[in-house]
Amino acid sequence: MEEHFKKIVKIQKELRDKVSPAGKPYNICAIDPTPTYFDGNLLKGALIFYGGDGCSWNTKTGGCFMCPYSTAHERIGYTQEHVKNQIEYLENVEEIKDLELVYLFPYSSFDEKEVSFANQKRLWKVLSELDNLKYVVFESRPEYITEKILEGISDILPDKKVCVYIGLETSCDFIRKYCINKGFSFDMFRKKCELLKEYNMNACAFVLLKPPFLTEREAITDCVSTITDCVDTVTNIILMCANTARHTITELLSEMGVYSPPWLWSVAEVIGQLDREQRKKVQLGGIYSEYTAEGVADYVQVDHTPAFYEFPKNCGVCDFDVAKSLIEFNLKKRLDLPWCTCKREWEKELQKHFPPLQERLPHLYEELIQYAASRREGQQ
């Protein structure tokens, strides 16, 4: 099992490494103003995209098996001078001066390889001077959440409410390692959440609905269990619905016909199994729809996310109305779902029998390794 897992990780890295880098280093930030429902309030927010040479975990291993980000990004040629220029650009942007919330979006906010400590401090100083800013939201892998970083933030941003999102994905260590390649344990996640609390900061989590290799029923069960396991530890949870992205293990599984993103009914089922207090902390993300609503939370409409080509859906007839209800959940904290006959097909999917994941996965690994080899030969 372990040897096969190492081969799967190698396949993922090969998929990433063959992609040619696109673009050139930027000296300015991208700013995406987004009315944001956060901490029980509708806020004037923005996503701020900046950063250096990409995700270190991606560079080392090819990254998580479903992630589209950072593909070839680290080979574009970013330096810390480029990062510094991006941060200095923010000093003169008028549109950020009345923001109440900023969501900072490098690949990992606290990775000093991507954003040096000196540049991180420059950014915090810029944010400290925004009088209207109440919330500063970071995203980081847990290994980069250190006392050094948190002490620096506390010194420079003492009057801001600081939130740090960690891509937990699942509370099951087996799934996180062997189905996602995440590279840390649930125990490590919990310890970093406790460290954040020591510095009066808010730990938040991404939870993934339907990691690669899981069936629809397994995905729902795992997602509900994960939210239950971490809801008392974190301030907020973004339930991210899986999408299929190019140059990933998920893409290969999709081509093999053994994986697809979750049904929209499954998203609703997860919400339906949560109690009232749990729902208050959950926001939905990763849902594509023509429907938009004022105040949708970050990550619901991910139109600019690279390389996604398969999305959560139902039959095609009811998708718009079901997605609308799911998106509005972020504001209402309740679901008003329409009815569609395709729900019966979804129910049949849940009733299908499969061997347990730990029995099934070694066989899926073998099939995937063979498929990747034949795919590689066919492309030569």
More confident residue, 140 or 377: 140
Question: DSSP letters of 216-259?
Answer: HHHHHHHHHHHHHHHTTT-SEEEEEEP-EETTSHHHHHHHHTS-
CA distances from 79 to 20, 27, 29, 144, 207 (A): 19, 10, 14, 19, 32
Residue that is written with structure tokens 């954003």 in the block:
115
CA distances from 324 to 13, 292, 330 (A): 36, 8, 11
CA distances from 280 to 163, 234, 271, 302, 330 (A): 16, 12, 11, 22, 9
Residue 380 covered by a domain: no
Residue 313 covered by a domain: yes
List 166's β-bridge partners, or say none. Answer: 205
Confidence of residue 302 (pLDDT cuts 50, 70, 90): very low
Residue 203, token pair as written in the block: 């730990």
Say yes or no to pLDDT of 74 above 80. Answer: yes
Q: What was the pLDDT predicted at 304?
A: 43
Residue 253 lies in domain: 2-375
3-state secondary structure of 208: strand
Please tell me the total count of domains within the chain.
1
Q: What was the pLDDT predicted at 299?
A: 46
pLDDT in tens, 262-299: 999 999 999 999 999 999 999 988 887 665 555 444 44
Rounded mean pLDDT, 327-337? 87
Provide the mean pLDDT of the chain: 91
Residue 306 covered by a domain: yes
Residue 370 covered by a domain: yes
Residues 6+ apart with CB under 8 A from 331: 37, 42, 293, 295, 296
Residue 124 covered by a domain: yes
Residue 276 contacts residue 342 (beta carbons within 8 Å): no
Domain containing residue 163: CATH number: 3.20.20.70
Say yes or no to pLDDT of 107 above 60. Answer: yes
**pTM over cut 0.75:** yes
Residue 11 covered by a domain: yes
Q: What was the pLDDT predicted at 120?
A: 97
